[in-house]
Structure 1
Amino acid sequence: MVRYTFGGDEHLFVEVAEEMSLDAFFKSLSMTRILAGKRIEGVTEICPANASFQVRFDPDVIAPDAILETVRAIEAEAEGAEPVIDTRLIEVPVFYRDPWTHETLMRFRERHQDPSGTDLEYAARINGYDSVDDFIGAHSGSPWFVSMVGFVAGLPFMYQMVERERQLQVPKYLRPRTDTPKHTVGYGGCFSCIYSVRGAGGYQMFGITPMPIFDPQEKAAHLSDFMVFFRPGDIVKFRSVDREEYDRIVAEVEENRFRPLMREVRFDLRAFNTDIAGYNAGLEAVIHGV
């Protein structure tokens, strides 16, 4: 059941579901698209999230009760929307067990649930994997759906595209760190993420990507049209790389020769839910041009 809450005088918060799911994301997406298409006078901003969205409005132009009534009507309208989007399938190289996140996580062990091990060792154990390699295989073996971009500029929240009982889950640190390397691949709750900038953070740290995802100067070739790379609806496939390949990609980035591997795809939620394993195998074939 959708829940509506006012935030101060200018915001309406719409919670489509309490827990993240692709069904909740698509309902939220449909509602925000319909709302944006109506171009309602007084609505100044629509901010989508994982399974919710927030509407900012000018109460001197449109009354709070009026915007609430309008969005509630859109909820019914969105029920019939087709859960299909044209999007991008993107391969993201990841150097798991890299020295930079390892050095950082060892500096903050007193803030962690298991001070005696590493973040990957902890994540593997609580998810029932026999080894870190097996856990990395699970993390990189399935695609991820970008359900939100934000918190800090350019940071993607990614939801694992497997059956719910197979989803990895790892809690955040007991207390946040004051440092996280740029491009860290992290994990918190049911979401993987990539830290777009260096800074504080509480997600478990699994590795690092050499691929730039945020460039305010728009100098990187794949970020020349917009400083933020990821968009909600993107599908990500992680690929484990070693130090040699990591260094090679870093050199390509520095020489402005790097281009991420991407394919244009149409994602159909109903087809995905009908055969998750088969659908993911199809995405794997597409990214490798099979």
Structure 2
Amino acid sequence: MPQPALHPSLFLSPLGDSAVVLQFGEEISPAIHQRIRAVTHLLEQQPFRGLVDFVPAFTTLTVYYDPWELSQQGTTDAYSEVVRHLEILVEQAAVTAAAPARVVEIPVVYGGTFGPDLQEVAEQAGLSIEEVIRIHSQGSYQVYMIGFAPGFPYLGGMDARIATPRKAKPRESIPAGSVGIAGAQTGVYSITTPGGWQLIGRTPLRLFDPSRQEPSLLQAGDRVRFVPITEADFLSRKEEQA
């Protein structure tokens, strides 16, 4: 069963014998995201013995550890040790100023063959194509988590005026770099994959490149701004990356 920690809305639960889930709440919100971000920042700065990895999500942070190393070869209880470390970090995070978010600009060519669903989004919203582009590109989006596919960002902060349901029939293949809308969320396909999001544009940037030192262009905690570009700009930037 979940165990209450230092904050009444925070619960810690074991996930198997090598992970702990920190549950910060039940609803997606900027406040919960900031708490998760603060703890992940401290984990980066102060990794404890046996830490393997940590994965932030909308309302949770999952911390993976090596139980043998953390227990000092079986002399202590690994779960109790990791909980002790995490409670210390949570307490520190509550009084530590959050680091400024990195802002990443993503160039996008909207509409045409690059955004075949832009017209449908505009019609459902009762807006012109130009208004949809203006609203989408003027937003400031929070990267809540990376998931679904390697490097795929789940973004919060989209204007409700352009929220559009997913397509009734998903596409079998969506090109990497496609910018889409699904309900109240917007996101960017990091690799070529099936999907049901409404496609409104495409970026020439590679959101996921396994040859880079950091394969994912975006990380949880970043902020994203979409910048409209022309088709000629798109093709030129793609050539530069070839």
Partner of 2:204: 210
Q: Give the deviation of 1:46 after TM superposition.
A: 1.4
Q: Give the deviation of 1:58 after TM superposition.
A: 2.9
Q: Check conservation: 1:146, 1:159, Cα contact below 8 A.
A: yes
Distance 1:4 1:183 in 2: 36
Where does structure 2 lack aligned partners over 5 or more consecutive residues? 1-8, 72-76
Distance 2:185 2:158 in 1: 11
1:185 and 2:156 equivalent?
Answer: no
1:6 and 2:14 equivalent?
Answer: yes
Equivalent residues in 2 for 1:53-202 (5 A)?
53-60=61-68, 61=71, 62-85=77-100, 87=102, 89-100=103-114, 102=116, 119-125=117-123, 128-160=125-157, 169-174=163-168, 176-202=170-196
Distance 1:3 1:202 in 2: 34
Q: Give the deviation of 1:129 after TM superposition.
A: 4.0
Equivalent position to 1:23, from 28, 31, 36: 31
Q: Give the deviation of 1:167 after TM superposition.
A: 7.3
Cα separation, partners in 2 of 1:205 and 1:2, compared to 1, 3 Å: farther
Distance 1:7 1:169 in 2: 35
Letter in 2 for 1:131: S
Distance 1:47 1:150 in 2: 10
- Identity value in percent: 25
**Cα shift readout 1:155-207 (whole Å, capped 9, x = no counterpart):** 22322277xxx575444344643311111112234432211211122322111
Distance 2:53 2:240 in 1: 38
Secondary structure of the corresponding residue to residue 190 of structure 2 = coil
More helix by percentage: 1
Cα separation, partners in 2 of 1:132 and 1:3, compared to 1, 3 Å: farther
Q: Check conservation: 2:114, 2:200, Cα contact below 8 A.
A: no
Where does structure 1 lack aligned partners over 5 or more consecutive residues? 103-118, 219-224, 255-290
Q: Check conservation: 1:85, 1:233, Cα contact below 8 A.
A: no
Distance 1:4 1:25 in 2: 17
Q: TM-score, normalised by structure 2?
A: 0.77
Partner of 2:229: 241
Letter in 2 for 1:183: G
Q: Check conservation: 2:145, 2:219, Cα contact below 8 A.
A: yes
Q: Give the deviation of 1:100 after TM superposition.
A: 4.8
RMSD, aligned α-carbons: 2.8
Q: Check conservation: 1:100, 1:181, Cα contact below 8 A.
A: no
**Cα shift readout 1:98-155 (whole Å, capped 9, x = no counterpart):** 31553xxxxxxxxxxxxxxxx43444455x4422321221111122233333432222
Partner of 1:285: none
Q: Give the deviation of 1:40 after TM superposition.
A: 2.4
Q: TM-score, normalised by structure 1?
A: 0.66
Letter in 1 for 2:41: R
What is the number of equivalent residue pairs in this alignment?
227
